[in-house]
Amino acid sequence: MSIFSFGFMQRALVAGLLVGLVCAVLSVYIVLRRMAFVGHGIGHASFGGVALGVLAGVNTTFMALVFCTVTAVAIGLVSQRKRVSEDSAIGIFLVAAMALGVLFISLKKTFVDVEGFLFGNILAVSHSDIVFIIVITVIVLGLVSLFFKELFYFSFDEEMAAVSGIPVTFIRFMLLILIALTVVVAIKVVGVILVSALLVIPAVCATQLTLDFKAVMGISILGGLIANFLGLLLSYYLNAPSGATIVLVLFGLFILSYGFRGARERLQSR
């Protein structure tokens, strides 16, 4: 295809597909553990990091990484103590980090591309971004395949996993940190606001279609790849914002899978 002869489109495609892949893999655990709000919270926390990076003149991706990881660990620690519930903890860290971000941006008097952080700009992905995305992809996929069975049991029943000798505290924090790493690369593609869509919708689509775990993983990955590819293509031809287009394609896939399940259930009950 001719549009992929442009360097920025090639990078956008690679970034989109890799981000689609890692997000789809993690979305399975996020959806099965009912922690959709976690991706949302960590995503918003990254804004504080990006803004601090801009203000201090430090690499924004690095600062976002620090902010997201700290938030992920804090959510894990606070909810482990059980004095504050996990969703309340996320709600608190989310707004605190966002507020810090707004404050930092306001202190910086020069122009800052806030919209790029909030909504992503996949066409502005650089060579070093690509390297970063590849590194994160390898880390996430490597750890998920290494701890595949532990994550499966942990998602099904955390307490029983502990009884069976699974190091659940390690798995819990590993998952949170992997989500944090993924959020940082995903905001390049869809931005802070929309990142939770990539971390939730692919697995929701998959669970509409099958009750087999490996099939859920496969369909989720397929959905993530299709949405990022198709979304990128559509946004190019329609001259629409890429992040929003990708998310809307994902939403379309959700509607399709939801409708498919409903139709199948009606047929079966007939």
Partner 1 sequence: MNDSASGIVVDIQDLNYHVGDLVILEHVSLRVAQNSFLGVIGPNGAGKTTLLKIILGLVSHYTGTVRVFGRDPRKMGDMRQKIGYLPQQAGFDRTFPANALEVVLMGRYGVIGLGRRPGAEDRRKAMEALERVGAADIAKRQIGRLSGGQQQRVFIARALVNEPDLLIMDEPTVGIDTQTQAAFTELVLELKQMLELTVIMVSHDTGMVATSVDTLACVNRHLHFHGAPGELTQEELEQLYECPVEALFHGDVPHRVVEKH
Q: 40 phi and psi, to 5 degrees?
A: -60, -50
- Is 204 a residue that touches partner 1 (CB under 8 A)? no
Q: Treating both helix axes as pointing N-terminal to C-terminal, what angle do 213-238 and 242-269 enclose, rounded to 10 degrees? A: 130
- Is 103 a residue that touches partner 1 (CB under 8 A)? no
At closest approach, how far in Å is the CB of 84 from partner 1?
15
- Is 207 a residue that touches partner 1 (CB under 8 A)? yes
- Is 148 a residue that touches partner 1 (CB under 8 A)? yes
* Token reading at 224: 């993530």
Q: How many residues bind partner 1 (CB under 8 A)?
A: 28
Which DSSP string do the residues of 198-224 spell out, in sequence order?
HTTHHHHHHHHH-S-HHHHHHHHHHHH
- Is 149 a residue that touches partner 1 (CB under 8 A)? yes
At closest approach, how far in Å is the CB of 82 from partner 1?
10
Of the candidate residues 146, 240, 255, 263, the single one contacting partner 1 (CB under 8 A): 146
Contact 193, 186 (CB under 8 A): no
DSSP state of 83: S
Q: In whole angstroms, what is the distance from residue 9 CA to residue 64 CA?
A: 25
Catalogue the E-assigned strands of 105-166: none
Of the pair 77, 102, the CB lying nearest partner 1 is at 77
DSSP state of 5: G
Of the pair 4, 148, the CB lying nearest partner 1 is at 148
Q: In whole angstroms, what is the distance from residue 204 CA to residue 265 CA?
A: 17
Distances, alpha carbon 157 to alpha carbons 122, 127, 154, 162, 227, in Å: 37, 41, 5, 9, 31
DSSP state of 84: S
* Token reading at 215: 């099939």
Cβ neighbours of residue 209 closer than 8 Å, sequence gap 6 or more: 215, 219, 257, 260, 261
- Is 269 a residue that touches partner 1 (CB under 8 A)? no
- Is 34 a residue that touches partner 1 (CB under 8 A)? yes
- Is 260 a residue that touches partner 1 (CB under 8 A)? no
Of the candidate residues 5, 57, 109, 159, the single one contacting partner 1 (CB under 8 A): 159
Interface characters, 45-84, with partner 1 (x: CB under 8 A): ----------------------------------------
Of the candidate residues 173, 210, 229, 251, the single one contacting partner 1 (CB under 8 A): 210
Of the candidate residues 30, 52, 136, 166, the single one contacting partner 1 (CB under 8 A): 166
- Is 87 a residue that touches partner 1 (CB under 8 A)? no
Of the pair 94, 205, the CB lying nearest partner 1 is at 205
Q: Which residues bind partner 1 (CB under 8 A)?
A: 32, 34, 146-150, 152-153, 155-157, 159-167, 207, 210-213, 215-216
